[in-house]
Amino acid sequence: MQPIHRAQQPLSRRKDTTYYNPQVKEKLDPATGLIKRRVRGAIGGDRINCPGDVAARTADMEVIKVLLNGVVSENAECKHR
């Protein structure tokens, strides 16, 4: 993604212009004494025109409960990546 001036934007895509709201988080690393910075951002979701899939895949709470109940009741291990 690269920002362009509004005059360079095609007229057919002007309706897709939206906002970007960056959120900066600073965290002190006690081992090195350095400050680590992470930037996340939010984009105007109702104005995004993207041809691909933009949904976040999540599981229902019921599915998670069944999974955890199976792990606990069978004395199994639940490993994640």
Q: What is the pLDDT of residue 81?
A: 62
Contact 56, 45 (CB under 8 A): no
Which has the higher per-residue pLDDT, 60 or 76? 60
Q: Residues 29, 35: contact at Cβ < 8 Å?
A: yes
pLDDT digits (tens, 9 = 90+) for 12-47: 888 777 888 899 999 998 899 999 999 998 887 676
Q: What is the pLDDT of residue 76?
A: 72
pTM of the model: 0.40
